[in-house]
Amino acid sequence: MVGQVLDPAREIQDDHKKARDAYFDFIKAIDGHDSRQAKDIFNILDAVMGPHWKWEEESLYLAVKAHLSEDLYTSLMKEHDECIEAMQKLAAIFKKWRISDADWAQAKKLAVPILYHIATCDGLPIMMERLGEQELWDLRQAIFASRREAIPLLEWAAKLRKR
């Protein structure tokens, strides 16, 4: 990544595409009661969402709040709260030795906020066009830092999240 100039809007869209694809594979595994596949995809989502969400909350959303819309900031943070709660409950389900039919049904319901957030959050790139070059530069640097740290979502939420 040395010498590479990232476009924060492109990065967020690329991350959302990856999350979208993983999400639909996750739902397919849930529908098929494939615990191994569902657990593997869940772990991938946790690993990928961690750096992305850390960057969003500690950089992008703060820029949104300061320069664009406090209401949008509040809404996005609420979505993150709901998704983190869902991910925590999914983690508890996938730690079980045997996953019951009721657990599978619950897992499918818990996955809904994640898809909703992917869909609504992907509108951010058009909002980011309103940010100045300094804010975009700061976002670029924050992407590198967050990815370098590579902290999974649930670990970040439990230990480091400032909310």
Return the HEC string of 22-79.
HHHHHHHHHHCCCHHHHHHHHHHHHHHHHHHHHHHHHHHHHHHHHHCCHHHHHHHHHH
Q: Following DSSP, what letter does each residue of 119-161 receive, concatenated?
A: HHHTTHHHHHTTS-HHHHHHHHHHHHHHHHH---HHHHHHHT-
Q: Read off the pLDDT of residues 33-64 as tens digits, 9 standing for 90 and up.
A: 999 999 999 999 999 999 999 999 999 999 99
Domains of the chain, residue spans: 8-159
Residue 3 or 36, more confident: 36
User: Is residue 10 scored above 90 in pLDDT?
Assistant: no
Q: How high is the pLDDT of residue 8?
A: 84
Q: How high is the pLDDT of residue 2?
A: 47
Q: How high is the pLDDT of residue 1?
A: 46
User: Is residue 99 scored above 50 in pLDDT?
Assistant: yes
Inter-residue contact 16 to 153 (CB < 8 Å)? no
Residue 122 or 22, more confident: 22
Eight-class DSSP state of 98 = S
